[in-house]
Amino acid sequence: MFTGSYVALITPFQDGSVDEKAYQSFVDWQVKQGTNGLVPCGTTGESPTLTHQEHHRVTELCIEAGAGRVPVMAGTGSNSTDEAIDLSRHAEKAGADGLLVVTPYYNKPTQEGLYAHYKAINDQVGIPIIIYNIPGRSVIDMSLDTMKRLAELPNIKGLKDATGDLARPVMDARELPDDFSLLSGEDATAIPYLAAGGHGCISVSANIAPALCAEQHAAWAAGDVQRAMAIQNDLIPVHAAMFCESSPGPVKYAASLMGLCNAEMRLPMVDIADSSKIQVESAIRGLGLID
C-alpha cells in the first residue's frame, strides 16, 4: 500500500531542455528530506509538454536518483489508451514501483470507456496502478461503481482523489478493498482526507516543504493528531500560495527562491504575475523556507 507524503515532482528546465543534473539533485534532496514517495511526470512535472522521449528519460532519471530508497509512482496517463500503455510498460521496465494514470481528458469517455481504458493498461503491466480522478482538469468523474469494478483487477491498487469532496473517502473506504490506497490530490485537505479514511497525499507543496509534509503524515499515523493539525495549519498559507495560479507556476517560482532550480516553464505556462510572486514569497518566508 502507498501511504504518507508523495511529492508530485516538478521538472526543472534550462534553456528549453530538461535540466537533468538539477532534477536528480532535487530528487536526492527530496529523499534526504524524508519524503515518502516520488511521482515524476505528473501535471506538476509538466508532462503535457514533455516529448515521449523526455517523458521516458525523466522517469528513468527519477528512478536512478531515488536509488530504491523510496517508492517511485510514475505518471503514465494519457487520453490515448495505446500511449498510456506504452508509457506504463516503459516505466515498469525502468523500475517504477507503481503507475499514476489520470482519467482520459478531453475525449470524455463514458464509465464503460473508463473501465475499458484502465483494464487495457492493467492487462499490459505487472505493477500497481493508481487511478487519478481529477474532474477539474479532465472533465469526467469516475464513479465509485466503476472503481469497485476496477479494484477487482489484479493491478488496480489505489486512487488519487483530486475532487475536493471529503465525503468521497468515507464512501471509498467503506466500499473498496482494505489494501486499496486512498490518496488525496489536494494539499489543503490532506489531514481531513486522512480523517475520512485516506492513507496519504500526492502533494505539490512537498516540492518545497518535503520534511514538514512527511512529518504531518507520520504524526497522524502515530496518533498525534494535535501535531498533525499544527503542521497542517502552518502549511495552509503555502498550500494557498502554490495554487494562486495554475500549477506548477507558483511552486517552480518558490523552488527558484530556495535555490532548488530555476522557474523556467514551457508554453503555454508562463511566469506567474508579480502579485502572485509576492504571495508565494510571503508564504515560504513565513514558514522559514527562505530568510
The set of catalytic residues is 132, 160
73 vs 59: CA distance, rounded Å: 9
The end-to-end CA distance of the chain, in Å, is 38
145 vs 172: CA distance, rounded Å: 10
R_g (Cα) of the chain, nearest Å:
18
52 vs 134: CA distance, rounded Å: 23
26 vs 255: CA distance, rounded Å: 10
Cβ within 8 Å of residue 268, ≥6 positions away: none
How many C-beta neighbours within 10 Å does residue 3 have? 19
Q: Is 156 within 8 Å of 176 (Cβ atoms)?
A: no
> What letter represents residue 63's amino acid?
I
> What letter represents residue 219's amino acid?
A
* Residues found in the chain: 291
Kind plus residue range of the DSSP H or E element containing 200: strand 200-203
Query: If we measure between CA atoms, which residue out of 54, 168, 72 comes closest to residue 128?
Result: 72
